[in-house]
Amino acid sequence: MNQRVWKAVQERSGGRCESCSRGSGNYGQTDHFFGRARAEGVESCWLLCMECHYRKTNNQPSARFWLEMFVAHCAKHGYEAARERATKRLEGIVAVREFEMAKARGVQ
Ligand SMILES: [Zn+2]
């Protein structure tokens, strides 16, 4: 990945997982929140420990949980564009869930 971005993420995180705050030692992994193919920047990447990276990749406990974590992370650092993007996805997930719940109740 881009060395400048990698270095900035390392410095911001202080080598700690930016989700659970555990020291990640040498096992910290830079996660491209919106996927590697999209724009790579300090705002869209965060450092995760191996365990969090695994859980995030597999949507455990849920995709919603990780979106909420990332929205909070962006708010903390003042990353408005990334926060907005994650919030839109979060609203999408909430809307789908509400629609499915309404459908299950027989309401359209
Ligand atoms: Zn972690």
Residue 45, phi then psi, degrees to nearest 5: -115, 145
Contact (CB, 8 A) for 23 and 11: no
Distance (Å) from CA 96 to ligand 1 centroid:
28
Distance (Å) from CA 101 to ligand 1 centroid:
32
Residues above pLDDT 90, as percent of the chain: 79
Distance (Å) from CA 74 to ligand 1 centroid:
16
Q: What pLDDT, in 10s, does the model give residues 76-100?
A: 999 999 999 999 999 999 899 899 9
38: confidence class by pLDDT, cuts 50, 70, 90:
low
Question: Which amino acid is located at 63 in the chain?
Answer: A
For the chain, the domains span 3-104
Distance (Å) from CA 47 to ligand 1 centroid:
8
Distances in whole angstroms, Cα of residue 14 to Cα of each of 6, 24, 26, 27, 98: 12, 10, 12, 13, 39
